[in-house]
Amino acid sequence: MTDTFHLEFTVNGRLRVLDIAASHTLLDVLRDDIGLTGTKECCVVGECGACTVIVDGRSVNSCLMLAAEADGADVLTVEGLAPSGQLDALQQAFLDTGAAQCGFCIPGQLMSARALLQRTPHPTPEQINEALAGTLCRCAGYEQSRQAVLAAAEEVGS
Ligand code: FES
Ligand code: FES
């Protein structure tokens, strides 16, 4: 018999209450139990960053975190950046700079960048590189992403 866990947490501003398999990761719950597939599943061993979400203001690899550890937490996923369907400044900047090619890494990059801008509204290029280093991109490289984060920081901070 599978052990279950009663999970209550907030995802993108909405309270979620559900019984999950105790072994499920946060990534499993977001994608399979809640249906938020914007968070990508790739290596599932903490190497690629495609599964990055923000938990209580901190970017985490959701494939490495048991969902039970998120009990009571406030989780933001890529779907939460545009709740009304209108792109936020960061998403628009990624689009404008051409950072999004195949797009697979972009949710993770966006969430890493969002976490950075929340704690450091005017980051240096080095801080941006450091924030994005955990999310692997095989298509566009990082220059466009770095430019996008700088542009978003200027727009939000201006
Ligand atoms: S899927 Fe989580 S780090 Fe790769
Ligand atoms: S845009 Fe394709 S992996 Fe980054």
- Please compute the mean of the pLDDT values over residues 22-28 and round it to a whole number: 97
Closest CA relative to residue 52, chosen from 68, 76, 82, 74: 76
User: In the prediction, which pLDDT does 120 show?
Assistant: 96
DSSP state for residue 142 in the 8-state scheme: S
Whether residue 31 is predicted with pLDDT greater than 60 in this model: the reply is yes
pLDDT given at position 33:
96
| Whether the predicted pLDDT of 41 surpasses 80 | yes
What is the 75 CA–ligand 2 centroid distance (Å)?
Answer: 24
Counting ligands in written order, the one closest to the CA of 134 is: 1
Q: Where are the domains of the chain?
A: 4-81, 89-157
**pLDDT (average), residues 59-85:** 96
Which residues lie below 8 Å from residue 149, measured CB to CB, with a gap of 6+? 90, 93, 113, 116, 117, 123, 128, 131, 132
Assess whether the C-beta atom of 65 lies below 6 angstroms from ligand 1.
no
How does pLDDT run across 113-126, given as a tens digit for each residue? Answer: 999 999 999 999 99
The pLDDT confidence band at residue 69, using thresholds 50, 70 and 90, is very high
Q: What is the pTM of this model?
A: 0.95
The answer to whether the CB of 19 falls within 8 A of the CB of 7 is yes
26 pLDDT above the threshold of 60: yes
Q: Which ligand is nearest to the CA of 99?
A: 2
Question: Ligand 1: which atom is nearest the Cα of residue 49?
Answer: 3
Element (H, E) at 108: helix 106-119
Closest ligand by atom to 43 CA: 1
The CA 45 to ligand 1 mean position distance, Å, reads 6
Q: What is the pLDDT of residues 73-107, one digit of tens each?
A: 999 999 999 988 899 999 999 999 999 999 999 99
| pLDDT for residue 157 | 61
For ligand 2, pick from 41, 94, 139 the residue to mutate: most ligand atoms within 8 Å of CB: 139
Mean pLDDT of the chain: 95
Band (pLDDT 50/70/90 cuts) for residue 141 is confident
Fold observed for domain 4-81: Ubiquitin-like (UB roll) (3.10.20)
CA–centroid distance, residue 102 to ligand 2 (Å): 5
Of all protein residues, the one whose alpha carbon is nearest to atom 4 of ligand 2 is 137
The CB of 105 under 6 Å from ligand 2? The reply is yes
Least confident of 26-30, 126-130, 153-157: 153-157
Judge: domain 89-157, CATH 1.10.150.120.
yes
